[in-house]
Amino acid sequence: MHEASIAESILDIAALNCRKAGFERVRSIRVRIGSASGVEREALLFAFECMKGGTAAEDATLEIEMAALGGTCDNCMGEFEAEGAYVLSCPLCGSNAFRITRGHEMDIVEIEVN
Amino acid sequence: MKVKVVTRILEANDRIAEENSRLFKSHGVFVVNLMGAPGAGKTSVLERLIAGLGGSRRVGVIEGDIAGTEDAERISALGVPVVQINTGSACHLDANMINEVLADLPLDELDLLMIENVGNLVCPAEFNVGEDMKIMVLSVTEGHDKPLKYPLMFQRSGALIINKTDILPHVNTDMERVRRDARALNPGIRIFEVSSKTGEGFSPALIEFIECLSGLR
């Protein structure tokens, strides 16, 4: 349900950057969402479609790039990438001494304007 | 034309959260964002904590609910300053909602501000409000699968309060599994097991933990 607040923030940031660049319409918005961020891709797309009307991005498409969960292990010193929203141990050596370094992203990457 | 943006989507929220955080620090208030499912017992835990602190720390409370003032009335009855926020339909508190009510609290007279979030295991974990620590309340009736079903909330919390231990004999929750999975998701998480109904488990460990936090400012 918080995807509505996130869609609203995306629309605000896109409109602001569109104006700053001296344009009026946003054609597309590309965002990067980590698989551990708690954001549901389909829910975000739905919220975006519901909320874009009447904004500078009312005809825009939202492109969602999903970023995998990843981390480094202090035991085997390896770098890993994993499916899903969490890991309970290092997928390489099974140790608990790992740190998650990627997968919580929630960024706007680029907008296309005209 | 393409415009590179590279901005955190929740940047506006995070900016206000930082502003709140600076304000809290300047008043010497330690702030806890208390999260958990509806009915986990967040308000009952708060009541026990306030009673357990017994005036050793000056506590203020912000209550977040979709509707109603019942929680604020319960806290107010304990004689501590409280503000109720009704979010209308929003499933979480955000930094701006907190910012708007800060003028209604005597921050200078507080050591500890407890912000009780809207009951929800998903959204509140995403939105910082300027807190120093997130604390999660989980009740034993919710089942042992919650850490792996809602990992983000467990990962972001500094402490986990497992409530309603008095009814453990009547439920099938495997407490060892809750502890193990919560610690696997978040090795540093502090775990406390309490019953708000009987008062068991609050003193001394949890009360001392909260006292210690509010002494950090």
- ipTM for this model: 0.84
Query: How far does B126 lie from chain A, in Å, by closest CA?
Result: 8
On whether any CB of chain A is under 8 Å from the CB of B192, the answer is no
B126:A31 CB<8 A: no
Asked if residue A61 belongs to a domain, the reply is yes
Kindly report the number of other CB atoms within 10 A of residue A54's CB atom: 8
- φ, ψ for residue B5, nearest 5 deg: -115, -60
Number of compact structural domains in chain A = 1
Return the residue of B nearest to A17 by Cα.
Answer: B5
d(CA B7, CA B169): 50
Dump the DSSP string for A11-79: HHHHHHHHHHTT-S-EEEEEEEEETTSS--HHHHHHHHHHH-TTSTTTT-EEEEEEE-EEEEETTT--E
Asked if residue A88 belongs to a domain, the reply is no
Helix (H) or strand (E) holding B97: helix B95-101
pLDDT of the residue at A96: 87
0.80 exceeded by pTM? yes
Is the separation of the CB atoms in B85 and B116 below 8 Å? no
Give the model confidence (pLDDT) of A48-97 as tens digits.
999 999 999 999 999 999 999 999 999 999 999 999 889 999 999 999 88
Asked if residue A9 belongs to a domain, the reply is yes
Asked if residue A84 belongs to a domain, the reply is no
Determine the structural domain holding residue A27 and report its residue range: 3-69+103-113
pLDDT of the residue at B68: 95
Query: How far does A106 lie from chain B, in Å, by closest CA?
Result: 6
d(CA B79, CA B97): 23
Q: Is the pLDDT of residue B217 over 90?
A: no
Give the model confidence (pLDDT) of B106-154 as tens digits.
999 999 999 999 999 988 998 999 999 999 999 999 999 999 999 999 9
Given A12, A39, A109, which is nearest B6 (Cβ)? A109
d(CA B164, CA B138): 9
Asked if residue A91 belongs to a domain, the reply is no
Asked if residue A47 belongs to a domain, the reply is yes
pLDDT of the residue at B24: 98
Coil, strand, or helix at residue B76?
Answer: helix
d(CA A18, CA A37): 26
On whether any CB of chain A is under 8 Å from the CB of B88, the answer is no
Coil, strand, or helix at residue B146?
Answer: helix
Pick the CATH number of B11-214 from 1.20.120.330, 3.40.50.1000, 3.40.50.970, 3.40.50.300: 3.40.50.300
* Contacts of residue B191, Cβ cutoff 8 Å, sequence gap at least 6: B159, B160, B162, B179, B182, B183
B122:A2 CB<8 A: yes
pLDDT over 70 for what percent of chain B? 100
Domain boundaries, given as residue ranges, for chain B: 11-214
Cis omega (within 30 of 0) for bond into B204: yes
Q: Is the pLDDT of residue B216 over 80?
A: no
Q: What is the DSSP letter of B120?
A: B
Q: Which chain A residues are Cβ-neighbours of B90 within 8 angstroms?
A: 5
Kindly report the number of other CB atoms within 10 A of residue A106's CB atom: 21
Asked if residue A42 belongs to a domain, the reply is yes
| Average of per-residue pLDDT across A34-55 | 94
**Average pLDDT over all residues of chain B:** 96
Asked if residue A82 belongs to a domain, the reply is no
